[in-house]
Chains A and B, each alone.
Chain A
Amino acid sequence: GEDVEQSLFLSVREGDSSVINCTYTDSSSTYLYWYKQEPGAGLQLLTYIFSNMDMKQDQRLTVLLNKKDKHLSLRIADTQTGDSAIYFCAEKRDRGSTLGRLYFGRGTQLTVWP
């Protein structure tokens, strides 16, 4: 993706928390998204956060946004083997010519060990 960076791999033990990090560079970002991709499937929206928020919680998922540092994280509590997948961070930028387009990171492969 263009200037959206993620670490490529993360391994955790079942029951532990997982934290997936993402950095972006465009200050015009309006919304930031987390998508999950399981093998052979498309991308499933997990959650999103508006850029004027710093935290959003949705059941086992917590999104933290540090707009000053352009850093986004996704925390999964009590990680399960079914959470094993690729997680993509994406940003929507508030620019007229690219309005609506999402910019994706390369994805973080989360592996959960039993």
Chain B
Amino acid sequence: GAGVSQSPSNKVTEKGKDVELRCDPISGHTALYWYRQSLGQGLEFLIYFQGNSAPDKSGLPSDRFSAERTGGSVSTLTIQRTQQEDSAVYLCASSLGPHTPNQPQHFGDGTRLSIL
């Protein structure tokens, strides 16, 4: 597609349920990033995929969070047993790769997650 696509755009769920958020990066982009933006806060890095390398999971806030990227393209972020503090906008970004230094990250419009 022309840009980074995320789905759903909005998700409301009850506390304790599991949720899956999807990101479809720009075609040909090998690097994919997930960030979380809480109300009034900046962007919190969650996880980073680069090609077939092991992902950088250093930003995941707890073991309830996991992400995978199948076939080097689409990524899914899964949050298990959701808590109210998980409510935020989850943003995905992609880029050609970190070794092309002047290639910026392009962002999707995000998934707004609300935990009741």
Q: How many chain A residues have a CB neighbour from B under 8 Å?
A: 27
Query: Are B43 and A101 in contact, CB atoms less than 8 angstroms apart?
Result: no
Of B6, B91, B102, the contact of A50 (CB 8 Å cutoff): B102
Mark contacts of B35-47 with chain A using CB atoms, 8 A cut-off: 1 yes-contact digit, 0 otherwise. Answer: 1000011110100
Contacts of B110 in A (CB 8 A): 41-42
Query: Are B107 and A44 in contact, CB atoms less than 8 angstroms apart?
Result: yes
Q: Which stretch in B11-19, B61-69, B75-83, B93-101 binds the other chain?
A: B93-101
**CA A31 to CA B50, docked complex, whole Å:** 19
Mark contacts of B83-114 with chain A using CB atoms, 8 A cut-off: 1 yes-contact digit, 0 otherwise. Answer: 00000000101010111011011111110000
Mark contacts of A7-24 with chain B using CB atoms, 8 A cut-off: 1 yes-contact digit, 0 otherwise. Answer: 000000000000000000
Query: Are B48 and A100 in contact, CB atoms less than 8 angstroms apart?
Result: yes
Residues of B bordering A, CB below 8 Å: 4, 6, 31, 33, 35, 40-43, 45, 48, 50, 56, 91, 93, 95, 97-99, 101-102, 104-110
